[in-house]
C-alpha cells in the first residue's frame, strides 16, 4: 500500500517537473538569442558609425 502511494506521488509530480524544465529551456534560449542579437547589433552599429566618421555612441 505504501508503495502505491510513493508511485502515485512520483507519477503525479513528474509531468509538472517536465513542463517546468521545458519552459525553463525555452525561456533560456529566447533570452540568450536576444542577448546575442543585441551584441551583434551593437557591433554592427559601431562599425557603421566608424565607417561614416561619427563619434562612438555612449552607453
Please indicate, yes or no, if residue 35 is contained in any of the structural domains. Answer: yes
pLDDT, residue 44, reads 96
**CB distance 46 to 57 below 8 Å:** yes
pLDDT, residue 43, reads 95
pLDDT, residue 59, reads 65
Please indicate, yes or no, if residue 32 is contained in any of the structural domains. Answer: yes
**CB distance 42 to 49 below 8 Å:** no
The number of distinct structural domains making up the chain is 1
Whole-model pTM: value is 0.69
Phi–psi pair at 54, nearest 5 degrees: -90, 155
Please indicate, yes or no, if residue 38 is contained in any of the structural domains. Answer: yes
d(CA 59, CA 54): 15
pLDDT, residue 3, reads 77
pLDDT digits (tens, 9 = 90+) for 22-58: 999 999 999 999 999 999 999 999 999 999 998 888 7
pLDDT, residue 57, reads 81
pLDDT, residue 18, reads 98
Please indicate, yes or no, if residue 44 is contained in any of the structural domains. Answer: yes
Amino acid at each position: 500500500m505504501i508503495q502505491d502511494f510513493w508511485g502515485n506521488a512520483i507519477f503525479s509530480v513528474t509531468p509538472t517537473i517536465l513542463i517546468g524544465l521545458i519552459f525553463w529551456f525555452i525561456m533560456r534560449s529566447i533570452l540568450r538569442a536576444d542577448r546575442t542579437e543585441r551584441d551583434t547589433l551593437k557591433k554592427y552599429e559601431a562599425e557603421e558609425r566608424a565607417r561614416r566618421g561619427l563619434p562612438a555612441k555612449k552607453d
